[in-house]
């Protein structure tokens, strides 16, 4: 470790299911990639289903405060079939995204050489979804009356603000400047006329500041078609919280499985730490079997490094992952084998 | 025409773009298939973009009243780039679905022999999406304050009722009884906890009445993965209005294009006429060029016949369409050529 290496504290939240198996590999890759350029200290947080079942805690304030003081977060996955849907998701994962104001949920999709896509003619796939992370239908606004009766009414409210939309739109255009300079807004403005209209107006306004970036618009339903029929048409996809959730899973499938898809929940103003996680879930069906592919988690460590400004270190991970997939992507390996193989190349 | 043929009035609303080119073929197929068993009288409605631009009318009350008195509706497509998104969609198409209480939006997806799917290994695809048609985010509830300012807030409200959900859930289980006896509920109950929880509880309750039908649950994001990686796993997919919109387009792509996907907006209580339409839109980019595939529209005529109880007549259309696709599905033909080819086989 060189004397000049910068010091960072990383919160590690393996969470549930396969999250616990893949996160250690993300941490190892982070450590190895940063050798000599950055010094990481890790703070482990025992949060998720086991903890909740043990003592009822989901995200105690004191622990959240400690997480807020770290420089970045590595997260595995959240969700467990023993616990009612929504409790951990809303109480832990979404609470962190919202409280830490991680308004850019960044999700690159790339078809790696050596990966078999389910598409017959996938073409070159290389796009990034910029998903808004702190608004929309994810706010938790809504409720139910006369629950359990024939007269029950349940609502969900999508809240969208110009403040929240404009900052993520600006991020997407800035990102497009570093890429192929095209932004596609995805919404459903022919039905969700209030929110859709606001998104479109703000995109049109921000676009004027980026004359080199072209932009178009697609309805969410049409987008699901193009992701299958012509995924190469996309460069930067810009969309809201729910639509982003939906299309990034479809995108993950199209590039050969969510096992290769990492994501960053980014507070682009750096008031709070950003969080990096594979886009896959806790996968209870294969948890504990040393079967899960740690590649997405390892790639999320690369995103963490990029976020902290260590592009060269991130590149080491990308290069190792690309070589690993190209050579061994089609073989069946355990979690630990894939982890070791990638680490060995770094 | 036999003397005993029953008489029906069909409202024909070609609408916009390619809707005008494909709907005449749906009408011709309907006419031919029903020869000798039913007598149809057609009432044409000049509704859509042209009408709106001419005299500002979208769906005048007097015309809606006449539509309500018909026995069924053939619709083409609604939407025109010259008109702000949402005006015709909400004012005409969704207004009909809501006012006529068409609570079952039925969308079969089938991979026909002779069609090339974009998937490398599509397998046998044959499922039906039962999409709720009168609730959810499509209600038009929501608004905006401080529009156009940096302090704008725009909301969209999803309204879901036990009454509305239970009737469509029951329809899905009844349909499953006539098929492979499996229902998959699709929602996002780990985030939309109020609506998702209600859907799941009602599914569990109704399922008790159908012990032969198995059911499972998938999040909407996971569903988009399975539609690409393993579409054969689905029999009846049951979901809300917006999720149904999204996955039926993806499903259309997976079975080789929305050009083969028909739908019925069904009032299963028969208080009002049901409406049959291709799931594709008005496709302004190819409108007026005699290029659109009329197959989906023709299949929607078959769904109309089934709805009125003329299964044999519907079968004539299905058989002709299947033979046409198997033999000529991969050739490039004009709208009129496809229409003529299918009619010639009936
Ligand atoms: C687990 C769930 C709450 C989460 C989401 O919906 O955002 C997940 O699907 C994701 O995409 O990160
Ligand atoms: C045109 C639009 C309002 C409509 C919908 O969203 O329902 C269409 O996409 C469909 O699926 O029929």
HEC profile for chain B?
CCCCCEEEEEEEEEECCCHHHHHHHHHHHHHHHCCCCEEEEEEECCCCHHHHHHHCCCCCHHHHHHHHCCCEEEEEECCCCCCCCCHHHHHHHHHHHHHCCCCEEEEEEECCCCCCCCECCCCCCEEEEEEECCCEEEEEEEEEECCCCCCCEEEEEEEEEHHHHHHHHHHHHHHHHCCCCEEEEEECCCCCHHHHHHHHHHHHHHHCCCCCCEEEEEEHHHHHHHHHHCHHHCCEEEECHHHHHHHHHHHHHHCCCHHHCEEEEECCCCCCCEEEEECCCCCCCCCCCCCCCCHHHHHHHHHHHHHHCCHHHHHHHHHHHHHHHHHHCCCCCCHHHHHHHHHHCC
CA–CA gap between residue A343 and residue A87 (Å, rounded): 35
Using pLDDT thresholds of 50, 70 and 90, give the confidence band for residue A4.
Answer: low
CA–CA gap between residue B209 and residue B30 (Å, rounded): 36
Q: Does one domain contain both A186 and A242?
A: yes
Is pLDDT of A6 > 90? Answer: no
Q: How far is CA A214 from CA A183, A184, A186, A197, A206, in A?
A: 6, 9, 14, 19, 11
Q: Which of B183, B167, B226, B152 is nearest to A195 (CA)?
A: B152
Q: How far is CA A268 from CA A147, A167, A271, B271, in A?
A: 40, 9, 8, 54
State how beta strands B6-15 and B72-77 pair: parallel
Q: Does one domain contain both B206 and B312?
A: no
Using pLDDT thresholds of 50, 70 and 90, give the confidence band for residue A162.
Answer: very high
Q: Does one domain contain both B29 and B44?
A: yes
Q: Does the Cβ of A137 fall within 6 Å of ligand 1? A: no
Helix (H, G, I), strand (E, B) or coil at A325: helix
Q: Which of A255, A284, A304 is the last residue of a domain?
A: A255
- From the CA of B93, give the closest atom in ligand 2: 3
Q: If you count residue pairs, one on A and one on B, with CB atoms under 8 Å apart, how many are there?
A: 220
Q: Residues near A288 by Cβ (< 8 Å), separated by ≥ 6?
A: A17, A21
Q: What is the mean pLDDT of residues A217-238?
A: 98
- B157 close contact with A: CB closer than 8 A: yes
Q: Which of B255, B270, B296 is the last residue of a domain?
A: B255
CA–CA gap between residue A271 and residue A89 (Å, rounded): 23
Angle subtended at Cα B35 by Cα B30 and Cα B41, rounded to the nearest 5 degrees: 60
Using pLDDT thresholds of 50, 70 and 90, give the confidence band for residue A44.
Answer: very high
B314 annotated to bind ligand = no
Instruction: List CB contacts (< 8 A) between B117 and chain A.
Output: 120
The separation between CA A83 and the C-alpha centre of its own chain, rounded to angstroms, equals 23
CA–CA gap between residue B204 and residue B196 (Å, rounded): 12
Q: Does one domain contain both A231 and A168?
A: yes
Helix (H, G, I), strand (E, B) or coil at A161: strand
Is pLDDT of A278 > 70? Answer: yes
Q: Which of A205, A235, A255 is the last residue of a domain?
A: A255
Q: Does one domain contain both B236 and B286?
A: no
Tens-digit pLDDT profile for residues A93-152:
999 999 999 999 999 999 999 999 999 999 999 999 999 999 999 999 999 999 999 999
Q: What are phi and psi of A13, to 5 degrees?
A: -125, 90
- Which run of H or E residues covers position A215? strand A214-219
Tens-digit pLDDT profile for residues A288-340:
999 999 999 999 999 999 999 999 999 999 999 999 999 998 899 999 999 99
Number of compact structural domains in chain B: 2
Given B197, B221, B311, B312, the catalytic residue: B221
Q: Residues near A205 by Cβ (< 8 Å), separated by ≥ 6?
A: none
Q: Is A42 a catalytic residue?
A: no
Q: Could you list the residue range(s) of the whole structural domain that residue A320 is in?
A: 1-116+257-345
Q: What is the mean pLDDT of residues A39-50?
A: 97
Q: How far is CA B204 from CA A4, B169, B213, B238, B266, in A?
A: 61, 10, 11, 13, 24
Q: What is the mean pLDDT of residues A86-90?
A: 96
Q: Residues near B323 by Cβ (< 8 Å), separated by ≥ 6?
A: B345
Given A80, A245, A260, A324, the catalytic residue: A245
List of chain B residues with pLDDT < 70: 1-4
* Cβ atoms of residues B20 and B11 within 8 Å: no
CA–CA gap between residue A98 and residue A68 (Å, rounded): 12
H helices present in A48-184, as ranges: 49-55, 61-68, 87-88, 94-99, 162-177
Half-sphere exposure of residue A110, counting CA atoms within 13 Å on the CB side?
15
A 194-223 residues inside an 8 A Cβ radius of B: 194-198, 201, 220-222
Q: Does one domain contain both B218 and B246?
A: yes
B126 annotated to bind ligand = no
| pTM of the predicted structure, to 2 decimals | 0.97
The confidence score (pLDDT) of residue B4 equals: 66
Q: Is A188 a catalytic residue?
A: yes
Choosing from A59, A83, A89, A90 the residue with most ligand 1 atoms within 8 A of its CB, the one to mutate for a pocket test is A89
Q: Does the Cβ of A265 fall within 6 Å of ligand 1? A: no
The confidence score (pLDDT) of residue A258 equals: 85
- A154 close contact with B: CB closer than 8 A: yes
**Long-range contacts formed by B205-214: CB under 8 A, 24+ apart:** B206/B166, B206/B169, B206/B170, B206/B173, B207/B173, B207/B183, B209/B173, B210/B173, B210/B174, B210/B176, B210/B177, B212/B177, B212/B181, B213/B173, B213/B176, B213/B177, B213/B181, B213/B182, B213/B183, B214/B181, B214/B182, B214/B183
CATH of the domain at B162: 3.40.718.10
* Cβ atoms of residues A252 and A260 within 8 Å: yes
CA–CA gap between residue A37 and residue A1 (Å, rounded): 8
Q: Does one domain contain both B231 and B106?
A: no
CA–CA gap between residue B17 and residue B97 (Å, rounded): 20
Please tell me which residue, A275 or A1, carries the higher pLDDT value: A275
Q: Does one domain contain both B11 and B81?
A: yes
Q: What is the mean pLDDT of residues A174-187?
A: 98
- What would the two tokens of residue B321 be? 């369409």
- What would the two tokens of residue B262 be? 């028909």
Q: Which residue of A has its CA nearest to B191?
A: A86
* Cβ atoms of residues B227 and B251 within 8 Å: yes
Mean pLDDT of chain A: 97
Q: How many residues does chain B have?
A: 346
B97 annotated to bind ligand = yes
The confidence score (pLDDT) of residue A73 equals: 98
CA–CA gap between residue B277 and residue B196 (Å, rounded): 28
Q: What is the mean pLDDT of residues A201-223?
A: 98
Q: Does one domain contain both A148 and A232?
A: yes
Q: Which residues line ligand 2 (CB under 6 A)?
A: A 190-191, 221; B 78-79, 89, 93-94, 245, 279, 281
CA–CA gap between residue A218 and residue A241 (Å, rounded): 16
Using pLDDT thresholds of 50, 70 and 90, give the confidence band for residue A1.
Answer: very low
Helix (H, G, I), strand (E, B) or coil at A39: strand
Q: What is the mean pLDDT of residues A278-285?
A: 93
């Amino acid at each position: 470790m060189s004397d000049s290496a910068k010091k960072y504290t990383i919160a590690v939240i393996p969470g549930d299911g396969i999250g616990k198996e893949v996160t250690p590999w993300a941490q190892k890759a982070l450590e190895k990639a940063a050798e000599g350029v950055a010094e990481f200290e890790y703070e482990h947080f025992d949060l998720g289903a086991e903890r909740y079942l043990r003592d009822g805690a989901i995200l105690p304030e004191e622990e959240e405060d400690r997480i807020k003081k770290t420089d970045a977060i590595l997260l595995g996955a959240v969700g467990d079939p023993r616990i009612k849907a929504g409790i951990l998701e809303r109480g832990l994962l979404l609470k962190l995204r919202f409280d830490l104001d991680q308004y850019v949920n960044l999700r690159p999709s790339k078809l790696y050489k050596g990966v078999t896509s389910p598409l017959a003619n996938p073409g070159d796939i290389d796009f990034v979804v910029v998903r808004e992370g702190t608004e929309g239908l994810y706010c938790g606004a809504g409720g139910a009356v006369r629950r359990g009766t024939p007269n029950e009414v349940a609502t969900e409210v999508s809240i969208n603000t110009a403040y929240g939309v404009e900052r993520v739109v600006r991020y997407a255009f800035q990102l497009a400047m570093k890429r192929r300079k095209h932004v596609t807004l995805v919404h459903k403005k022919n039905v969700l006329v209030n929110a859709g209209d606001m998104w479109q107006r703000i995109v049109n306004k921000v676009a004027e500041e980026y004359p080199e970036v072209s932009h178009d618009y697609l309805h969410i339903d049409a987008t699901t078609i193009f992701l299958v029929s012509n995924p190469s048409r996309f460069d930067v996809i810009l969309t809201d919280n729910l639509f982003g959730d939906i299309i990034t899973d479809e995108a993950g499938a199209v590039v050969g499985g969510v096992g290769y898809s990492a994501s960053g929940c980014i507070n682009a103003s750096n008031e709070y730490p950003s969080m990096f996680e594979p886009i896959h879930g806790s996968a209870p069906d294969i948890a504990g079997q040393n079967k899960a592919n740690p590649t997405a988690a390892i790639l999320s460590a690369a995103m963490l490094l990029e976020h902290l400004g260590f592009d060269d270190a991130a590149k080491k991970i990308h290069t190792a992952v690309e070589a690993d997939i190209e050579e061994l992507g089609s073989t069946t390996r355990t979690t630990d084998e894939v982890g070791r193989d990638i680490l060995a190349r770094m």
